[in-house]
Amino acid sequence: MDLTELLADAMRGQRLSAEALAYATGIRVPRIKAFVEDGAVGPIRPTAEELAELAQALSLPLPDVLAASQDRRTVAHAGHLV
C-alpha cells in the first residue's frame, strides 16, 4: 500500500477532510491534498515530521506510514509490477 492509499483509507474511515486533518496536524491543506493525490512521489513530498504528525492524527502506526512513504518507483510490464 502506498501513502496515497493509506492516507485516503484512514481519512475516509475516520470521516476526515483534508481541512480537518490540516487543523489537527498544523500541516497546510494544499500539502495534505498533494500527499493524498500524489503520495510521496509527487512534486510535494512529506517531511519526516509531517509523516509523524499524520500518523499520530490518523492513529496509524508510524512504521506503516514510513513504509508507505518510501519511493517505490515501479515499472509496469504486461500489467504486473516489476
- Domain locations in the chain as residue ranges: 3-81
The average pLDDT across 30-55 equals 94
pLDDT grade for 76, boundaries at 50, 70 and 90: very low
CA dist 76 to 34, 39, 73, Å?
23, 18, 10
Q: Classify residue 75 by burial, with Cβ atoms within 10 Å: 0-12, 13-18, 19+.
A: exposed
The CATH class for the domain spanning 3-81 reads mainly alpha
Residue 74: is its pLDDT beyond 50? no
Residue 1: is its pLDDT beyond 90? no
pLDDT grade for 12, boundaries at 50, 70 and 90: very high
- The pTM assigned to this predicted structure is 0.83
The confidence score (pLDDT) of residue 82 equals 47
The average pLDDT across 18-22 equals 97
